[in-house]
Structure 1
Amino acid sequence: MSLVSRRSLFAGSAALLAAPAVAQRATDFAGRTIEWVIPFAEGGGSDVWARFMAPYLAKYLPGRPTVIIRNVPGGGSITGTNDFYQRARPDGSTFIGTSGSTQFPFLLGDRRVRYDFRTMPPVLVSPTGGVVYIPARFNVANAGELGKVRETELVYGSQGATSLDLVPMLAFNLLGLKVRHVFGMRGRGEGRLALERGEATIDYQTSSAFLTQVRPMIQAGNVVPLFSWGVLDAQGNVARDPTFPDLPHFVEAYEMMHGRKPSGVEYDAYFAFFGSGFAAQKPAMLPPRTPPEIVAAYRRAFEQAVADPELQARKGEVLGDYEQAVGDNVQRVYEVATTITPEAREWARNFLANNHNVRF
């Protein structure tokens, strides 16, 4: 599916969720306590993200309420999200922040899911990034030379077939690489260590880990960076990661290797999970049926929070260099993170069932 047709698909849901730029009536949260539900345990990436953003949101919401974080872990984030979707009041007193590991079960049609992202108005979307790299001993200088290892079995240390590692799994399949996915890694750090020990031969690391842990390996001549996942611009197009502007993103890497842009249902599936897992990994949403004036107040508050000089000065370790989707830009990016065509979903489910014995 082309980006043009993908935009057409999104247009209908955008009309349903879009909030007016100006509130229809005054919204005031003075004296109230707002709960930001995080369906993960304390201390994880989503929890850190929410706790970093919360004081700035409180500063700009009308009436300057108190914003607290309520952690509801369980079921890989499905439990807390189901509870929020079924019980949250649409009065602005509560909203939720999820992650790619919450979006993936929704996109795959997991029977445990009771929530529907299409009915929850987004107010913020935060991206993240990552870079794929390979040992230097393969003599692959860049993505355009990946054809040298096309017939070589590469090994990737994976956290699971339906985890965020589904994105590299689909990417390697699209590129035509022979990659054996070894499951059981408890984090990308273990995947990196497996490559350092010679047990794995291809890996990716998120942006912060790549900068701190992999860049020294590049400088020592031990590994070669191939491509980043990329980011999405305001129109939903894949663009270069601002943290790695000199590296091609995946679509460019595919074109370097094959001489054409990726297309077809396999790419549609990859694009859906890439958007959900990286380019729009952490969305914040209000409950279904939230009045438009409350949605508008939250969107405006997040827009002001992201522009706050203090947040800008402190954002490096939590938000990185990535542009936060707020205001008028939030809807388009959110749709990429939470939308998949029926054909792409069916293809992904069959791919996982036939190749990795995943049952839905």
Structure 2
Amino acid sequence: MTETNTTRRVAMSLVAAAAATFATNVSAGGHGIDLEGKTVEWVIPFSETGGSAKWANFYAPLLSEALPGNPTVVVKFMPGAGSTKGANWFQEQEYDDGTLIFGSSGSTQFPYLLGDPRVRYEYSDWNVVLASGTGGVAYLPPDLAQKMDGLDASALRDTDFIYGSQGATRLDLVPLLAWEMLGLNVEPVFGIKGRGDGRLMFERGEANIDYQTSSSFLKGVTPLVEAGTAVPMMSWGALDADGNIVRDPTFPDMPTFKEICEATEGCETSGEQWDAWKAFFVAGFPAQKMVFLPAGASNDAMVTYTKAFEDIKARDDFADISAGRLGKYPQMTGAKADGALKSATQVPDAAKEFVVNWLSERYGVTLN
């Protein structure tokens, strides 16, 4: 045997042994990186009042327990430009030691999908370790809710609605388009930094229609419903295994937008408008929030965070504690998270074209 072949065989044996040791450590509960004594900064590109804040604040202490070395996990808020400010900042970061993660939302995904000129981030550069599905609920003041005839929203068409919005190219386009399909006159007040600020406008009487993602609705709006100052109008629904819109598992007694639309004259659940609404609903909610490591993240870091989130999901109490805070939605890791990312950052060209034209005609928003 030549020296070259001997050297090669020794090197291959060492690589194989190292790989086997790493795999054994992972399967035995070990991790690729150790974060003992460190602080993990979890950047959220919204204000501290919205659903993303509630999602991150729910996971942060659990993540601290699950990561090796039990680092402190601190949620940092970086609102601005409907979340593109924080996302653009994250794009400029490179992986260092695993102490920086980023939480995106549908309101981060939509500007990317629509080619918003303010977007300087690229999802394919990031490394997803968790994808969280969610839902959304629209609600009204009691006096307006009483005007509805069962599921028929036609009687609301003579009302001038005010809605606090982060922007028409954000996740808000799902409710804005839905309300327009129902024939409602909803005037958005653009510029709020998070959906929690929209809820505060509703509470103060500055808005008379609102929607919140499930986590924010459960914590922030349920007390209003119990106090009799807010009434749910509809959920956006959820997807079944065949891609059909069905009732949201978190709100099974609440009608979906599809049901309200079918009961309201002039609202169609077929055609290009419906197809566009559904495409952006699918992009924005079944994988509505995701956790990323920055560009250049090592495989060790990916293994570490994926394993940590899998351990969180495997907790005996996770189903109970998450249902009341996040709702009953998939929490995806590994290949499922990769698939969710793909579905969240792609929409059919026809749906994109429809929405781009609608945004221009309805709100004067040009995307080029």
TM-score greater than 0.5 by the shorter chain: yes
Q: Which residue is equivalent to 1:346?
A: 353
**Residue aligning to 1:71:** 76
Instruction: State which of 78, 82, 85 in structure 1 corresponds to 2:91.
Output: 85
Show the counterpart of 1:19.
none
Please say if residues 45 and 103 of structure 2, whose CA atoms lie closer than 8 Å, have aligned partners that are also in contact.
no
Structure 1 residues 116 and 264: CA distance shift in structure 2, 3 A: farther
What is the Cα deviation at residue 228 of structure 1?
0.7
Matching of residue 116 in structure 1 with residue 111 in structure 2: no
> Which position in structure 1 is the counterpart of 2:322?
315
- The correspondence for 2:34, drawn from 10, 30, 36, is 30
Return the alpha-carbon distance in structure 1 between the equivalents of residues 246 and 298 of structure 2: 34
Q: CA separation in 1, counterparts of 2:362 and 2:173?
A: 12
User: Structure 1 residues 36 and 224 mapped into 2: Cα distance closer, same or farther (>3 Å)?
Assistant: closer
Where does residue 214 of structure 1 map in the other structure? 225
After TM superposition, give the deviation of residue 192 of structure 1 in Å. 5.3
Moved more, 51-60 or 258-267: 258-267
1:56 aligns with 2:62: yes
Render the CA deviation track for 1:207-231: whole Å, top value 9, x for unaligned: 324422135438xxxx764421123
**Secondary structure of 1:180's match?**
strand
Residue identity matched to 2:175: P
Residue correspondence of structure 1 range 119-158 to structure 2 within 5 A: 119-133=125-139, 135-142=144-151, 145-146=152-153, 148-149=154-155, 152=158, 154-158=160-164
Computed over aligned residues only, the root mean square deviation of the Cα atoms, in angstroms, reads 3.7
> Of the candidates 274, 278, 283, which is equivalent to residue 267 of structure 1?
274
Q: Retained in 1: the 8 A contact 2:57–2:75?
A: no
Deviation at 1:343, TM superposition (A): 3.1
Instruction: Please state how far the C-alpha of 1:74 moved relative to its aligned partner.
Output: 4.7
1:188 corresponds in structure 2 to 199
* Counterpart secondary structure, 1:123: strand
Q: Distance in 1 between matches of 2:39 and 2:23?
A: 19
Give aligned-pair identity as a percent.
35
Aligned residue for 2:95, secondary structure, equals coil
CA shift for structure 1 position 137: 4.2
How far off its partner does 1:352 sit? 1.4
State the TM-score, normalizing by the size of structure 2: 0.72
CA deviations 1:29-81 (Å, max 9, x no partner) are 124536343143673443443243233234334x4452533626253332332
Aligned 8 A contact 2:46 2:80 in 1: no
Distance verdict in 2 for CA 1:70–1:226, change over 3 Å: closer
* TM-score normalised to structure 1 length: 0.74
Contact 1:122 1:284 in 2 (8 A): yes
Query: For the residues of structure 2 that align with 1:285 and 1:35, how far apart are their CA atoms?
Result: 13
1:239-273 Cα shifts (integer Å, max 9, x gaps):
42222102232234334447997344433432344
- Paired with 2:189 and 2:284, the residues of 1 have a C-alpha distance of 18
Structure 1 unaligned regions, length at least 5: 1-21
- Structure 1, 299-308 or 39-48: larger mean CA deviation: 39-48
